[in-house]
Structure 1
Amino acid sequence: MTSRRTVLLAIALVTLLAGPASASYAGDKPLVTVMTGTITGGYAFTLGNSTYSGTLDPGDSYTVAFEPLLPADARITDTRVYVYWAWSRAGQQAVYPTMRVLARGGEQQELGRAERYVDSKGFVSTNDFFSGMDVYPVAEPGKRTTAVTVTNAADENASFVVQGVGLLVVYESPSAPRGMLWVKEGCDMLYSSYGVETGMATSRIEFEGAIDTGAVRSATLHLVAPSGGYTRTDVPEKNAVSVNRKTGDRLPAFIEGILEAIFPGYNGKEWTDAFDATEQSQVGADIREIAPYLRSRENVVTVRDNGDYLLLTNAFLWVDLGEEQA
């Protein structure tokens, strides 16, 4: 008799072979680069006072207020609003959400969606609904956004939940350092369950381009993962974030420890239990200083699930290069 485990593994394999448009718990939807360059300035990302919305039926609204901290002389060049949503359904049928998004920053403006990133289990089962992230550029980024309201604009009896709303502000400032910024977006649902092993439930983030590591003063890796870190049962080392870490042909742990003490960063770095979501604040985040582990090129970050269940949606990398040389 065919075992349940064999059936689940077969389901996972078929899902992975279905092509880039498929969905699954595996790391098969890498984040895409939407912004990269060198600026004198920086970025600010905030979830404001986001909390879990509960079910939003047609006509229901949800509002998040923001107070992004910027230098007094900042000139805002780009603003993007991220709506993190889940459980989009009409009864027991998976449907895409219909939403109206308004931004307030002095005057109120309706935002037009630029991108929608979606993922799901990828196989027929109960509660196989869509989850994702919608992206809304702000038409007049120079005006500071102070609040965002999301309304369920569906005509039929369709509902969804909002896990939170994020606000990204990119700015220039003569008083700020010169640095390199990468902004990556997407939605990769990761869950090492239903035959998807931990190694498969891993998303790879590649930061393209060269970095003058000798000029780096600091480097901040900022990851966003709805549901990341929030589990109903305590799973040890439920997720992991690694930077330039080679996992093949690993040496014994005590030898690895000695080499890392003598040659810091020789094999990158890994952190476990990285994200910090809760039942009320369901958008997990992880912010790390990674300068010791940077390479001059081909920098790679991986996010791995080990029973946590998370959606990897955003990655920001800011490399502080200090003052520009004359």
Structure 2
Amino acid sequence: MKKNIILLFILFIFATPAQATKTIVSINDVSVEPGNDICASIMLNDVINYGTGTIKVTYNPDIAQVTGAQGTTDSSVLALNADNSAGSITISGLNPNGKTGDVEFTDVKFHAIGSSGISTSLTPEVTTLQDTSYNTDSFESVNGYLGDKPLTIFTHETIPGNLTYSLGSSDYSGKLYPGNPYQVEHNISIPTGATVKFARLYAYWTWSVIDTTDGYPDLKLTFDNDVLSPAATYDDRKGFGNYDFPSGTWAYNVTNYVTGSGDHTTLIENTGPDNSYFSMDGVGLLVVYTEPNGDEIEYWIAEGCDLISSQPVSGLTPEEATTQAVFSGTINTTNIKEAILTTVIQSGNDIDNMLIFNLENWTGIYNGTPYANLDVDKRSVQNYLVDNNNTARIRAVDDYMVPSNAFLVLWHTLPELTPESGDNTPVSLISDIKPEISIEVTPSYLNFGSLGPGEISSTHQILIKNNGSTNLSVTAEVTDTGQDLYARGLQINNATWTGYQTQLIPNATEEADLRIRVPVDYSHEGEKEGVLMFWAQQI
């Protein structure tokens, strides 16, 4: 089987202040068998009165070598300087009569010398671009793989309460053509007496195509039988070459539908033409609630879509392929008893990808949890807080990823009351002494429905609260009367229950996602019961 060497371009855009449209400089993608020659065209799109210009193109000299460049009917070649040792060619072109619109600047000839199946990026660097009066245009580079769309803070507040975020039964959809619906079930549990402040649904979509070209999805979202329009839309694309298909995060206000604990259904359909499709990476449901006697928390909700990559085709360093969420404001770090950062990443399954929080960083955390197309990482960052503008940075290290959400939650320590000076007044003192170890788990009953061998149930969420007065380490134990159905098949947070362990400070609440994966060799029938016990130990 023959394999080709692929040459891929990086896109540039430039504009003068007087121009109504931006001018795009690009080189088309080409492929050629090793040992053969190919031409790649440099195009100027939407240019006004092109007169002359100088453009440098860089490439990997171990994969391709330049053998020349030739002019076109739009632009003659004034001079060229090729350096195949360094991997660059500089071309100067001219059109004394000027041309407006799309201009073919030059055709660069390459000879493929690398092995089959490899690629190099062709990166143009615009030195000058002038009109026929030799007025110089300013320009800027544009590469969709840059970390150029930081996540937006949707809201930042301080309340007595907490929040919960769940992907429910989400999984990667594959290609969704018209007539192929995608459905996600969410089971939400919040404490008794809590009041929902707001609920926000996130639809994470990718790979949107109409026929064989890029396009934005005709995405119809139905939540609990009502068709909704997005409250905010975020999208990004690489902006050059083949497979320039956009990805996005669309946010929906579902506060009127999520008023407490309960089940909710999201249905997503493609209403575009028959030759269109897109894929769903998942659907996330965020619920923020208040409690009359709840802990005081301060939270920031960041959302967006920034497609980043430092793969060779991007032409970028990992530092350039970094996006961020800035949790602006001043905090008192001595008044924080816990801080949790949750990040949601589309297509982030690579252990080299990095999360940076202020001066600390982690790798190996974006590892396909809960599944390969969508990563959710939740971690304590209390020890790394700073007084002003805490910042999370997400970096693609030799990989491709799409950061979509970041939630920062701080648990405040309430100040002690100081008596005012004045007359002595007797005060009655009553104290309710908490036990050292006490946990509460809600709900106390789950029904996983009807399942067959090898099938996986929908996900149900439980809440575990530390009602005691000391820090606790919590583990799980399963017993059942169902011929080891639950002992073998129960999963907590998409992993076997035997590995579950969490730590809770006093009054803290932890959410856990439960589901059953029926063993493929399970041959018993009928209703099967089991018991999940949580054990708490002081730490």
Distance in 2 of aligned mates of 1:304 and 1:179: 28
Alpha-carbon contact 2:198-2:255 (below 8 Å) kept: no
TM-score by length of 2: 0.51
| Alpha-carbon spacing, 1:42–1:191, altered in 2? closer, same or farther (3 Å) | same
**What is the aligned counterpart of 2:172 among 52, 56, 70?**
52
**What is the aligned counterpart of 1:158 among 267, 276, 279?**
276
Distance in 2 of aligned mates of 1:322 and 1:283: 34
Distance in 1 of aligned mates of 2:322 and 2:388: 21
Q: Which amino acid aligns with 2:218?
A: T
Alignment map for 1:1-326 (pairs within 5 Å): 3-5=58-60, 8=121, 10=123, 17=140, 24-104=144-224, 108-123=225-240, 125-144=241-260, 146-193=264-311, 194=313, 195-230=315-350, 237-245=351-359, 269-277=360-368, 281-323=372-414
Distance in 1 of aligned mates of 2:211 and 2:176: 13
User: Aligned to 2:284, what secondary structure does the other structure show?
Assistant: strand
Alpha-carbon contact 1:98-1:152 (below 8 Å) kept: yes
Distance in 1 of aligned mates of 2:371 and 2:317: 29
Structure with greater strand share of residues: 2
Alpha-carbon contact 1:66-1:146 (below 8 Å) kept: yes
Distance in 1 of aligned mates of 2:278 and 2:318: 29
Alpha-carbon contact 1:9-1:196 (below 8 Å) kept: no
Q: Residue 259 of structure 1 corresponds to which residue in structure 2?
A: none
Q: Which amino acid aligns with 1:174?
A: P
TM-aligned CA deviation for residue 23 of structure 1: 5.6
| Alpha-carbon spacing, 1:139–1:214, altered in 2? closer, same or farther (3 Å) | closer
Distance in 2 of aligned mates of 1:4 and 1:185: 36
The structure, 1 or 2, with the larger RCO (C-alpha pairs under 8 Å, 6+ apart) is: 1
| Alpha-carbon spacing, 1:205–1:279, altered in 2? closer, same or farther (3 Å) | closer
Distance in 2 of aligned mates of 1:68 and 1:153: 29
Where structure 1 has 5 or more consecutive residues not aligned to the other structure, the ranges are 231-236, 246-268
Alpha-carbon contact 1:52-1:279 (below 8 Å) kept: no
Q: Residue 261 of structure 1 corresponds to which residue in structure 2?
A: none
* Higher gyration radius (CA): 2
| Alpha-carbon spacing, 1:69–1:202, altered in 2? closer, same or farther (3 Å) | same
Structure with greater helix share of residues: 1
| Alpha-carbon spacing, 1:64–1:142, altered in 2? closer, same or farther (3 Å) | closer
TM-score by length of 1: 0.82
TM-aligned CA deviation for residue 292 of structure 1: 0.8
TM-aligned CA deviation for residue 13 of structure 1: 9.2
| Alpha-carbon spacing, 1:17–1:277, altered in 2? closer, same or farther (3 Å) | farther
Alpha-carbon contact 1:50-1:281 (below 8 Å) kept: no
TM-aligned CA deviation for residue 143 of structure 1: 2.8
Alpha-carbon contact 2:59-2:123 (below 8 Å) kept: no
| Alpha-carbon spacing, 1:142–1:13, altered in 2? closer, same or farther (3 Å) | farther
285-294 vs 59-68, greater mean Cα deviation:
59-68
Where structure 2 has 5 or more consecutive residues not aligned to the other structure, the ranges are 1-55, 61-86, 89-120, 128-138, 418-539
Q: How many residues align?
A: 289
